[in-house]
Structure 1
Amino acid sequence: MKIYDGVIDWGIKRARDSKMIALGFHSVIDGLVKVDPQKIDNLDLTIPQELSALPDSIKCIDDFWKGLIFSFVNGSALQLMIDSKEVYEWIMKTFGTGTLRLGGTSANMAKGLVPFPFEKILVYVYPLKKEIANLFPNSKNLFVVGKNGLDHPINAYDGEGVDAIHWIFEFSQGQSMTINGKVYTCPRSNRFIASWNPINSKLEVRDPFKSYVIDRAEEISHFLVSGFHIMQEVYPNGETVEDRIDKLLEFVKTVREKNSEMKFHLEFASIRRDRVRNAVEEKLFSRFDSLGLNEVELSWVARDMGYDEKDILNLDVERISQIISEV
């Protein structure tokens, strides 16, 4: 308890001493759906036994079921992007929006930070519509860059509409479902996320946020970057993920030149597409000061490095420590 109290005190002091905290580039609306196994019983599906057998994105309804069932059977967190508008419409028709709440890595980080004594928390939200603006906490230290400078999201939104949604299918330890005549029991409470967000898939840093951060870089002490998991390998206009990450690096380089003391954190999230994940690993890992991953995400990085991913999924602490030291 003494160690815990000391860490809390240290963290509160660091928060008070910090300058503005910037968060980009992934804010969205989440739709929370509680999984009812009885509605899924007796599906005729082939269950992926390994992560490598999963689709890299959801292109058809069968891909959706594979991701959900794999996540349920293993009690593992998993996120897959929806590439098909038809599948997006089918999920909407089948499950509805669920319970709407604030989502996206950047927005959730902002929500988690506002209770702490940070003077200013600046979050990137594009497009900033009324529906998502209303989901942000009413906190005096939370800001977006609006037409008239810094303001709370609810005072800066432009229009209405839900342009993107990330469905979160939550399941609980001990729930059971029958697939192809066999009963599977979920070993650990977790969630499967199916994400539709084509509008932000290029991870484009738009104005007025971009100009504000460059002009006021000296006022920012920490920058937390996320959203790589919604990127595509090749875009309809011919751009590649490498092209888009290079543009992001140009922005990061410009900001670093303005403020060399700024700390950059990379939140990995579930980058299922191999080319996207490899581009992030090769181009960005060495450019950031810290890295955030869960056990599934770390297992993918370990596999890319030539290690057995099962060591991570089995929570082998020694192996996890070894791989993290080499990332």
Structure 2
Amino acid sequence: MEMWEWDSIYHKSYEDIRSSIEDVRGIFVAYNSNIDAIKHIGVVDIEHLLMNVELKDVQEKVFEYPRQIESPSDLVARLIIAMRDGKAAEVPTNTTAIHDWLTDHLVFDSARMGGQAGIISNLLASMGIGKVITYVPWLSEEQAEYFVDSENLLFPVVEGGELVLKHPKQAFDPDNIPKINWILEFSKGMEVKFAEEHFVIPRDNRLIISSRPKWIRIEMSPELYERIPQLQADIDGAILAGYQMIKEEYEDGSTYMDYVEKAVNVIEKLKEGNPDIRIHVEFTSIQNKVIRKAILKQIVRQHVHSLGLDTVEVANALNVLGYEELAYSVINKGENAIVSLYEGAVKLLKELELERVHIHSLGFYICLVSKDCPVSTEDHLKALLFGSTVAAAQASHGEILSMEGTESGLDVPISVEGHNELEKLEKHLVRSGICCTEDFENGCISTPLYDALVIPTKVVSEPVATVGIGDAISATSFVGFLSKIK
């Protein structure tokens, strides 16, 4: 399909989903929200950081590829790696000393809502979704201030033995303290000189230093847990994120399996209240392979309907599911990377027994859908195009303040690179006998085992911010999907 034809379909799909989305009663969103301290790293900043660490240590760390930030050298090494590769990364730290070191050596540019669940809650509430019921176990007074002032944004609490929904600013625990992440953003084209290395950053992206203090727990009080089914009249779907906060072992002797079990129990409680509810998990970069595997096999498989991932997260998921060669092909971004990504989506749909797998990559989306999915491929395609439009608007302006504000995404051009990538995938699928050229034209492919949606997306050449774009893509596409079930 030519670019102008896609542009026409974008406009029609956007209007269609925008009207049907009013039928969605509400969404339950949990678990992670935090405060993001955002710093755009320039040449002077990286030079200053390098002056305050041992260069030899950083060189060694770059080679070792630290999976956790325990020292300033770890931090600078992971920043060098992220800038060199132009890849987004999220790396945990369990020590507040890293936050203190960054505060001493960098002044953040701004602070805003962070965490997948927090970002998604604010976005959907601003778009006017019926009810957005958000839940974070560590809601503090400071954190509550970063939730948008919207009457449809609610937080569940138990008062006098009854479930009550309040705005987060009326529901925080005064004893809780905020969780603060650092977002170190960098821009394409910046030259970096480090020891004997000299490179130019290939694309805009960021490194997230994710704070994991000891008191973080993915759980809820027994009183609230027992009343979750009472939300049945308020929600049609749930978007769950933040499972990366789970640790292998805790100081009190509990393990990751205790919190995996709690996570599954909450999903079952949601289903108890509404057997037709659809559960979406938004994946993220998880350094710990034990936790990554447990999330996929014990939480996602059989208990969840939908999974959202980016390219790196697909490779990480495939790796722990036993598809190391395919994972390498995805992450290597070679000539046939999109083919490997498509094949990876097929593996994930089957291995995790899902209803849908939505992969968002720069320039295109791949979404595989099971044959028993209650939404047609045509409507599913509309939901994806709607999600791309909203994400383009957010990338253009930095935030979405209303449903009307999403319409500007229609003015963003479709990615030429993404369109070209789809042509590569088309040739492979036709050669393999999976589909014919005509099937691929409208982005909808039907096979005996699954249906596939592949679309070129709208890409902002100079985004105001990159954090939260993937969350916007997945959340709004999923809500568009829900609107067609209704």
On whether the aligned pair clears a TM of 0.5, the verdict is: yes
1:217 aligns with 2:256: no
In the alignment, the residues of structure 2 paired with residue 98 and residue 146 of structure 1 have an alpha-carbon distance, to the nearest angstrom, of 34
Q: Compared with structure 1, are the counterparts of its residues 126 and 243 closer, same or farther at alpha carbon in structure 2 (3 Å cutoff)?
A: closer
Q: What is the Cα deviation at residue 79 of structure 1?
A: 0.2
In percent, how many aligned pairs have the same letter? 23
Is the Cα contact below 8 Å between 1:25 and 1:205 reproduced in 2?
Answer: no
Q: What is the Cα deviation at residue 131 of structure 1?
A: 2.0
**Which structure shows the bigger proportion of residues in helix conformation?**
2
In the alignment, the residues of structure 2 paired with residue 281 and residue 290 of structure 1 have an alpha-carbon distance, to the nearest angstrom, of 12
| Structure 2 residue corresponding to 1:30, chosen from 33, 36, 44 | 36
Please name the residue that 2:75 is paired with.
64
1:170 aligns with 2:173: no
Which structure carries more relative contact order (alpha carbon 8 Å, separation 6+)?
Answer: 1
| Structure 1 residue corresponding to 2:327, chosen from 309, 322, 325 | 309
1:114-143 C-alpha deviation (Å, 9 max, x unpaired): 233421101113433332222222222111
Please name the residue that 1:131 is paired with.
142
| Structure 2 alignment gaps of length 5 or more | 1-6, 349-486
1:191-228 C-alpha deviation (Å, 9 max, x unpaired): 00001132663311236653442322343211111002
In the alignment, the residues of structure 2 paired with residue 219 and residue 161 of structure 1 have an alpha-carbon distance, to the nearest angstrom, of 27
Larger CA deviation: 226-235 vs 20-29: 226-235
Q: Compared with structure 1, are the counterparts of its residues 183 and 234 closer, same or farther at alpha carbon in structure 2 (3 Å cutoff)?
A: same
Matches within 5 A, 1:24-103: 24-41=30-47, 43-44=55-56, 45-46=58-59, 53-96=64-107, 98-103=109-114
Please name the residue that 2:479 is paired with.
none
Q: Compared with structure 1, are the counterparts of its residues 46 and 166 closer, same or farther at alpha carbon in structure 2 (3 Å cutoff)?
A: same
1:232 aligns with 2:238: no
Which SS does the other structure have where 1:67 is aligned?
helix
RMSD over aligned CA atoms reads 2.3
Is the Cα contact below 8 Å between 1:31 and 1:99 reproduced in 2?
Answer: yes
Is the Cα contact below 8 Å between 2:229 and 2:274 reproduced in 1?
Answer: no
TM-score (ref. length: structure 2)? 0.62
1:291 aligns with 2:307: yes
- Larger CA Rg, structure 1 vs 2: 2
Which SS does the other structure have where 2:122 is aligned?
helix
Which SS does the other structure have where 1:223 is aligned?
strand
In the alignment, the residues of structure 1 paired with residue 214 and residue 124 of structure 2 have an alpha-carbon distance, to the nearest angstrom, of 26
1:213-271 C-alpha deviation (Å, 9 max, x unpaired): 23223432111110022221211122221221111112211221221101100111111
Is the Cα contact below 8 Å between 2:183 and 2:209 reproduced in 1?
Answer: yes
Larger CA deviation: 243-252 vs 32-41: 32-41
In the alignment, the residues of structure 2 paired with residue 155 and residue 208 of structure 1 have an alpha-carbon distance, to the nearest angstrom, of 18
Please name the residue that 1:192 is paired with.
207
Q: Compared with structure 1, are the counterparts of its residues 244 and 213 closer, same or farther at alpha carbon in structure 2 (3 Å cutoff)?
A: same
Larger CA deviation: 215-224 vs 285-294: 215-224
Is the Cα contact below 8 Å between 1:231 and 1:276 reproduced in 2?
Answer: yes
TM-score (ref. length: structure 1)? 0.90
In the alignment, the residues of structure 1 paired with residue 37 and residue 311 of structure 2 have an alpha-carbon distance, to the nearest angstrom, of 24
Which SS does the other structure have where 1:192 is aligned?
strand
Which SS does the other structure have where 1:143 is aligned?
strand
| Structure 1 alignment gaps of length 5 or more | none
Is the Cα contact below 8 Å between 2:249 and 2:255 reproduced in 1?
Answer: yes
In the alignment, the residues of structure 2 paired with residue 47 and residue 110 of structure 1 have an alpha-carbon distance, to the nearest angstrom, of 40
Q: What is the Cα deviation at residue 48 of structure 1?
A: 6.7
Is the Cα contact below 8 Å between 2:283 and 2:309 reproduced in 1?
Answer: yes
In the alignment, the residues of structure 2 paired with residue 224 and residue 210 of structure 1 have an alpha-carbon distance, to the nearest angstrom, of 17
In the alignment, the residues of structure 2 paired with residue 14 and residue 207 of structure 1 have an alpha-carbon distance, to the nearest angstrom, of 36
Which SS does the other structure have where 2:342 is aligned?
helix
Q: What is the Cα deviation at residue 326 of structure 1?
A: 1.0
Q: Compared with structure 1, are the counterparts of its residues 10 and 47 closer, same or farther at alpha carbon in structure 2 (3 Å cutoff)?
A: farther
Matches within 5 A, 1:250-269: 250-269=265-284
Aligned pairs, how many?
325
